[in-house]
Amino acid sequence: MMQAAQAVSHRPDDGAEGSYAQEYLTFTLGEEEYAIDILKVQEIRGYDAVTSIAHAPPFIKGVINLRGTIVPIVDLRIKFGVGVVEYTPFTVTIILNVGGRVVGMVVDSVSDVLALESSKILPAPEFSSSLDTRYIHGLGSIDERMLIVVDIEKLMLSADMALVDDQVH
Amino acid sequence: MTVDMSQFYQVFFEEAAEHLANMEQMLLDIDLQSIDDEEMNAIFRAAHSIKGSAGTFGFHDLAQVTHELETLLDRVRKHEVVMTAAMVDASLEAGDLLRDLVAAHRGEGAADMARVAEVCASIKRLYSDPVSVADEDPQPVSAAALPCSFRFSFMLPQSCADAAGVMENMSAELEALGSRVVDVSIDAAGRWQCLLGGRVDAAAVRDIVEFIASPGSYAEGEAASAPAAAADDAWGLFDATPATQDDAGDGSYGFFDAPAPVAADAQDDSFGFFDAAPGVPTTAVPQTAAVDDSFGLFEPLPVESAAVLPLAAQPVAKSGAPAADSAPEPAKPAAATRTAKTTGGDTSIRVGVDKVDQIINLVGELVITQAMLASAASKLDPVEFERLMNGVQQLERNTRDLQESVMSIRMLPMSTVFSRFPRVVRDLSQKLGKQVRLVLAGESTELDKGLIERIADPLTHLVRNSLDHGIETPDVREARGKPREGTITLKASHQSGNIVIEVGDDGAGLNRERILSKARERGLPVSDGMSDQEVWGLIFEAGFSTADQVTEVSGRGVGMDVVKKNITAMGGRVDIESMTGVGTRMTVRLPLTLAILDGMSVAVGADTYIVPLNYVVESLQPTAAMIKSVGGEPRLVQVRNEYLNILTLRGALGLAGGTTDLERGILVVLEADGGKIALFVDELVGQHQVVIKSLEANYRKVVGISGATIMGDGHVGLILDVPSLVESARGRLAAAA
């Protein structure tokens, strides 16, 4: 898993010779389509009632009991300000395993699993949005669709997500 | 040897570590003025056991060091040499070296062979120094037993697969002694017959051979005095029928041999199949004593055997019964006790911590399932489902019992931590030129193994700090009218669900002015009006040190902040009390265990929170008359003779739901760190035992929340951090005042 992650992070420059396919899980937030490294995904489940946590930013919904483990749940729709925030029986939570932590994120829907060749992922131009370009790995395109390939580990462990204690503290 | 030993290495490492720890403890306890023979023997046995197993496992560096150490201890034990402080130091150093070597064999760090040689040489110097030979011993055994040819025989244990290899090892060891193996043969009965030439030390040969021989099979016979075969017969006879101990000289042989196989067997069980050899060394102790007899030194015998006996038998030996005949009698119960002690080791088993933790986790899940069942059952009609209800209740009791027993597996006595401090204090006080007495109390207080391991370093810091900064030098102490010898007290005790460890000294105490000026220097926000408690708290700031000079021990300002951080991370806290000129006391409070908690669940709106029960004093429904307002806001409640600060959980955690009408809710009186508050909640839900789960494992620290748990319905419940709530409430009041 680590190897895969490292290999991907080297991609933009040395992709020419070692172009290989990697599998991504794609999901939608509103109209946008995102892709994350499938090796970071632990499981996909429905949205459970959460226990809310004091002093947490609004996009952290709370914590759930995942077979004995306390797992925080982030709603990416609130975080990125896209899509309609409602919780129905069809709301999906992707449970991630990033940096030794288990974190759940709520998305609009999970699309499919795709193999993307590393050479097909283009570097994202600089722009400003609620999703910092630092966490965007690149932009992939399949047919007419644009996939935002997110470095989910970096994003989830970042200070922006408020899921991890500040290192400076 | 051809047997794959590596699978036993771990056992050896653990054994060796235990022996080393024992040895160090005993060395530190030695009173040079009156050396207790039993203690000396115990130390010797520890060294001997390490040497035995090290040899078996082929760790020659370890064996080499222990061999020298053992030789030294053996001579002290036999009163050939008088124990000196230098010897204790050398032995301790050898212990350190051995620990490093064991670590090196474990693959942690590298073995320092130069140090091995150095330590060996220094020990050798100590025991071969003729000046220190005790004068009352007219004829040291080693000198007496130097015949130019020496014959002995023994059997190899059946478990020994590679006889040739063993013999080769033995020859090498014997040659290291200055002896030469002249002839080796094996007779029809499978006995190895050996003839040694050159310099022979009978006791040393016996030691070596007994490592490899099967228990009790070693026999010696000098070609000059008696035919080897005859000696062998005698040995065989006494081995088989230990009852024949009438004979004065041989009686002790017969007797001492008899328990030997028992002891060896007993140890076998605990070591695995392999330990026939290391098991034997225990028997070497009495046997060497017996060798002395055969050289005609009847006089020292009672002393020798007394040395072997536990205390119970000692008075008899001490009463001076010189006759050799009487020796076996007091020795008998002693030997029995020894055997019992060794078998006592079999009642415990070594289990990996991960296995225990797995069981604890499973039991934790079981508790959750049980709670789930109980909550489902509580909705049923108790009359109709009486049997089910009874079953659920019984399940609850059984689960609780099971949980308690499982948790107790992880509990270790504080002595496992405290045992390192005599050494720390001894070394450090020597280095600093101070005289310090260490007083330990409450060593049997039990604490979770996980906490025990993590508390050791912070405590060491505190003790070192007390020694370095607290205790004054003897001259200064005398000038201040205190005894020259300072005292450091380490005390552990239970206090309502917490374990309290105190590190106290009768030194100079903290210097308020100096801490304040240092804090100003470092730009910390301080004022002269700060309470002592706040000032003392400053020493836990990072980089804070008031030491005039940086010593090897402390003064770099790292340490105290780390201490505080570590202890806080364990869910504990440190308090300082200090009085100038009288001393300082640091009090560490830790939760008993990290895993389980008795809690009361309270509801605010739709949310449920757990209040650890050990903070709850009482709960009450307030009436309008009880609530007093300060500054236009209802802040205080009068409970009997006290006014308590009201903290609404809703406000403290910024919750949306819940009532704000104080008369419609419940006040829970909480006490933490000497402060009381009344926590306002909507209602009390119930009382449960909950398994603490970390919130920080996947999330981060939340103010006011100490952890999470899984409730009976499978939902997550958050556990309130009462001390921080109490503190924040008091802070709020202070800010308002």
The CATH number of the domain where A108 resides is what?
Answer: 2.40.50.180
Structural domain of A142: 2-160
Q: Is B382 exposed, middle or buried (0-12, 13-18, 19+ CB in 10 A)?
A: exposed
Share of chain A above pLDDT 70, in %: 86
pLDDT digits (tens, 9 = 90+) for B412-468: 888 888 888 888 888 888 888 888 899 999 888 888 877 888 888 888 888 888 888
Judged against a pLDDT cut of 70, whether residue B554 lies above it is answered with no
Say which residue, B231 or B502, is predicted with more confidence: B502
Q: What is the fold of B141-297?
A: Alpha-Beta Plaits (3.30.70)
Q: Report the CATH architecture of B413-591.
A: 2-Layer Sandwich (3.30)
Distance in Å, alpha carbon of A143 to nearest chain B alpha carbon: 38
Share of chain B above pLDDT 70, in %: 68
Residues 6+ apart with CB under 8 A from B567: B455, B458, B573, B574, B588, B590
Q: What is the mean pLDDT of chain B?
A: 72
Judged against a pLDDT cut of 70, whether residue A48 lies above it is answered with yes
pLDDT digits (tens, 9 = 90+) for B368-426: 788 888 888 888 888 888 899 899 999 989 988 998 888 788 788 888 888 888 888 88
B702 touches chain A (CB under 8 A): yes
B699 touches chain A (CB under 8 A): yes
Question: Confidence band (pLDDT; 50, 70, 90) for B545?
Answer: low
Judged against a pLDDT cut of 70, whether residue B66 lies above it is answered with yes
Residue A140 lies in a domain: yes
Element at B672 (helix H, strand E): strand B666-672
Rounded to whole angstroms, the Cα distance separating B563 from B558 reads 9
A101:B697 CB<8 A? yes
Report the chain A residue with the minimal C-alpha distance to residue B720. A54
A62:B716 CB<8 A? yes
B716:A54 CB<8 A? no
Report the chain A residue with the minimal C-alpha distance to residue B653. A54
CB B693 within 8 A of CB A69: yes
Q: What's the average model confidence in pLDDT over B636-661? A: 82
- Which residues in chain A touch residue B653, judged by CB atoms under 8 angstroms apart? 54-55
Distance in Å, alpha carbon of B496 to nearest chain A alpha carbon: 28
Distance in Å, alpha carbon of B568 to nearest chain A alpha carbon: 14
Residue A165 lies in a domain: no
Question: Confidence band (pLDDT; 50, 70, 90) for B311?
Answer: very low
For residue A29, the model assigns a pLDDT of: 86
Question: Confidence band (pLDDT; 50, 70, 90) for B527?
Answer: confident
**Domain residue spans of chain B:** 6-132, 141-297, 353-405, 413-591, 596-736
A99 touches chain B (CB under 8 A): no
- Which residues in chain A touch residue B364, judged by CB atoms under 8 angstroms apart? 68
A163:B364 CB<8 A? no
3-state secondary structure at position B379: coil
Residue A168 lies in a domain: no
Residue A33 lies in a domain: yes
Distance in Å, alpha carbon of A68 to nearest chain B alpha carbon: 7
Rounded to whole angstroms, the Cα distance separating B548 from B560 reads 16
A52 touches chain B (CB under 8 A): yes
For residue A73, the model assigns a pLDDT of: 93
Query: Which of A49, A54, A64 faces B705 most closely, judged by CB atoms?
Result: A54
Q: What's the average model confidence in pLDDT over A114-136? A: 80
The residue type of B179 is S
Residue A92 lies in a domain: yes
Select the highest-mean-pLDDT range: A68-77, B146-155, B289-298. Answer: A68-77
Domains of chain A: total: 1
Question: Confidence band (pLDDT; 50, 70, 90) for B547?
Answer: low
A49 touches chain B (CB under 8 A): yes
Query: Which of A65, A101, A164 faces B714 most closely, judged by CB atoms?
Result: A65
For residue A72, the model assigns a pLDDT of: 92
Q: What is the fold of B6-132?
A: Four Helix Bundle (Hemerythrin (Met), subunit A) (1.20.120)
List the single range of B158-162, B324-328, B636-640 with lowest mean pLDDT.
B324-328
For residue A104, the model assigns a pLDDT of: 93
pLDDT digits (tens, 9 = 90+) for B179-207: 666 666 766 666 777 777 666 667 777 77
Distances (CA, A) of A160 to A57, A61, A163, B118: 10, 15, 8, 58
Judged against a pLDDT cut of 60, whether residue B83 lies above it is answered with yes
Distances (CA, A) of B250 to B106, B229, B233, B285: 45, 16, 12, 16
Question: Confidence band (pLDDT; 50, 70, 90) for B53?
Answer: confident
pLDDT digits (tens, 9 = 90+) for B261-278: 444 444 444 444 444 444
Query: Which of A50, A65, A162 faces B710 most closely, judged by CB atoms?
Result: A65
A54:B714 CB<8 A? no
Question: Confidence band (pLDDT; 50, 70, 90) for B309?
Answer: very low
Judged against a pLDDT cut of 80, whether residue B664 lies above it is answered with yes
For residue B5, the model assigns a pLDDT of: 62
In degrees and rounded to multiples of 5, residue A70 shows phi and psi of -90, 120
Q: What's the average model confidence in pLDDT over A83-88? A: 81
CB A41 within 8 A of CB A105: no
CATH 3.40.718.10 correct for B596-736: no
Query: Which of A51, A69, A164 faces B717 most closely, judged by CB atoms?
Result: A51
Residue A134 lies in a domain: yes
Judged against a pLDDT cut of 70, whether residue B177 lies above it is answered with no
Judged against a pLDDT cut of 60, whether residue A100 lies above it is answered with yes
For residue B299, the model assigns a pLDDT of: 44
* Predicted complex: ipTM over 0.85: no
A165:B700 CB<8 A? yes
CB B579 within 8 A of CB B666: no
Distance in Å, alpha carbon of A52 to nearest chain B alpha carbon: 8
Question: Confidence band (pLDDT; 50, 70, 90) for A65?
Answer: confident
Residue A142 lies in a domain: yes
pLDDT digits (tens, 9 = 90+) for B318-347: 444 344 444 344 434 444 444 444 444 457
The residue type of B625 is A
For residue B502, the model assigns a pLDDT of: 92
3-state secondary structure at position A72: strand
Distance in Å, alpha carbon of A154 to nearest chain B alpha carbon: 15
- Ordered alpha helix ranges (H), B198-327: 202-212, 228-240, 248-257, 259-271, 276-279, 281-294, 301-308, 314-318
Chains A and B form CB pairs within 8 A to the count of 72
pTM for the model: 0.45
For residue A103, the model assigns a pLDDT of: 93
Judged against a pLDDT cut of 60, whether residue B620 lies above it is answered with yes
